Structure 1
Amino acid sequence: MAESERAKMADGEWYTCLDSELETLRATARDAVFEHNMLPPRERANLGPALRALLGGVGEGARIEAPFHCAYGFNLFLGSGVFLNAGCTILDTASVRIGKGTLFGPNVQIYCAEHHRELAGRRAGLEIARPVAIGDNAWIGGSAIILGGVSIGEGAIVGAGAVVTRDVAANTTVVGNPARPVKRG
């Protein structure tokens, strides 16, 4: 029996996102996210029940402001005290692990999906999922973009608007596009 597209996605292989099972999972995520985004602010502080059930893991005191968007949800793991500010988008085709006490500014984006470089592959919906890991107590500035396959170390700072294309060491500050460490002088 052929391996499902979901299994290929989970295994880090090329898969087609134009798949009925994956579309059903994305629809479930959209419904949970919609419910969360429509909650009154006081109720949203504890995450909506559908979003909480959807996510792979949620630590105590984790908070997601609205609007929020994720592709699947079940690949998203939030440590305790994580704060995602308004407008965050996480395309969690692979595991996204955000360590405890990490803070996101508004409009932070994480893209685990990488589309095929060949036109025929893109037309076929081929993509590959690359995980993202963010250590404890990191700070991700507003409108930063983090690409799949990247790890950001504990205590790191990603400047506003930075595009993170490679790993960031612990306790390092990166800025720019592509993000580079700030030199201490």
Structure 2
Amino acid sequence: MNPNFHCEFGRNIRVGNHFYANYDCTILDGAPVTIGDHVLFGPKVGLYTSNHLFDPLERQLGGCIAKPIVVGDGCWLAANVTVLPGVTIGAGTIIGAGSVVTHDIPARVIAAGNPCEVLREITAADKTGFAGHDMI
């Protein structure tokens, strides 16, 4: 994990093996955050489990609600991705740079946008033959 990691509590974050977060990652963990194995975060990724209440008086009183976030095994969240409360991102999925993820995204897809939407599935045609020791 690169510098400038910020979290709200820390005790509600569960991270799998071989997780990498680039610079300026923020996780507000008012509810559980689960990050799978072999997950990559680009710079300035934010996972936010909490949201303020909509009623102005309740908001002034400090009211908020928190819902869990799950990022499945093998996901890549590119730079400046924002994940909002209650979202599950399925295993192997790629979320494009600058996306705002407001709802669940299935496994093995490429999704992007604000709001984030599925663009296409990841298929065998996406393989490059990279063997892990050479740069492409």
Please give the TM-score of this superposition, normalised by the length of structure 2.
0.87
| Superposed CA offset, 1:72-115 (max 9, x none) | 00000110000011101100100000000000000000110011
Tell me which residue corresponds to 1:161: 98
Tell me which residue corresponds to 1:121: 58
For residues 81 and 74 of structure 2, the distance between their equivalents in structure 1, rounded to whole angstroms, comes to 16
Match of 2:77 among 131, 140, 144: 140
Match of 1:97 among 27, 30, 34: 34
- Per the alignment, in what secondary structure is the counterpart of residue 23 of structure 2? coil
For residues 84 and 12 of structure 2, the distance between their equivalents in structure 1, rounded to whole angstroms, comes to 15
| Superposed CA offset, 1:15-61 (max 9, x none) | xxxxxxxxxxxxxxxxxxxxxxxxxxxxxxxxxxxxxxxxxxxxxxx
Identical aligned residues as a percent? 40
For residues 139 and 80 of structure 1, the distance between their equivalents in structure 2, rounded to whole angstroms, comes to 14
C-alpha displacement of 1:177: 0.2
Q: Which amino acid aligns with 2:72?
A: G
Tell me which residue corresponds to 2:10: 73
Cα contact 2:109–2:120 (8 A) shared by 1:
no
Please give the TM-score of this superposition, normalised by the length of structure 1.
0.64
For residues 183 and 87 of structure 1, the distance between their equivalents in structure 2, rounded to whole angstroms, comes to 29
- Per the alignment, in what secondary structure is the counterpart of residue 121 of structure 1? helix
Cα contact 2:111–2:120 (8 A) shared by 1:
no
Q: Which amino acid aligns with 1:159?
A: G
Q: Pairwise mapping of residues 10-89 of structure 1 onto structure 2 (< 5 A)? A: 64-89=1-26
Tell me which residue corresponds to 2:128: none
For residues 81 and 134 of structure 1, the distance between their equivalents in structure 2, rounded to whole angstroms, comes to 14
For residues 113 and 183 of structure 1, the distance between their equivalents in structure 2, rounded to whole angstroms, comes to 29
What is the total number of aligned residue pairs between the two structures? 121
Cα contact 2:110–2:119 (8 A) shared by 1:
yes
Identify the structure with the greater helix proportion: 1
For residues 85 and 109 of structure 2, the distance between their equivalents in structure 1, rounded to whole angstroms, comes to 19
Match of 2:47 among 107, 110, 133: 110
Q: Which amino acid aligns with 2:75?
A: A
C-alpha displacement of 1:183: 4.0
Identify the structure with the greater strand proportion: 2
Residue ranges of structure 2 left out of the alignment (5+ in a row): 122-136
Residue ranges of structure 1 left out of the alignment (5+ in a row): 1-63
Larger Rg: 1
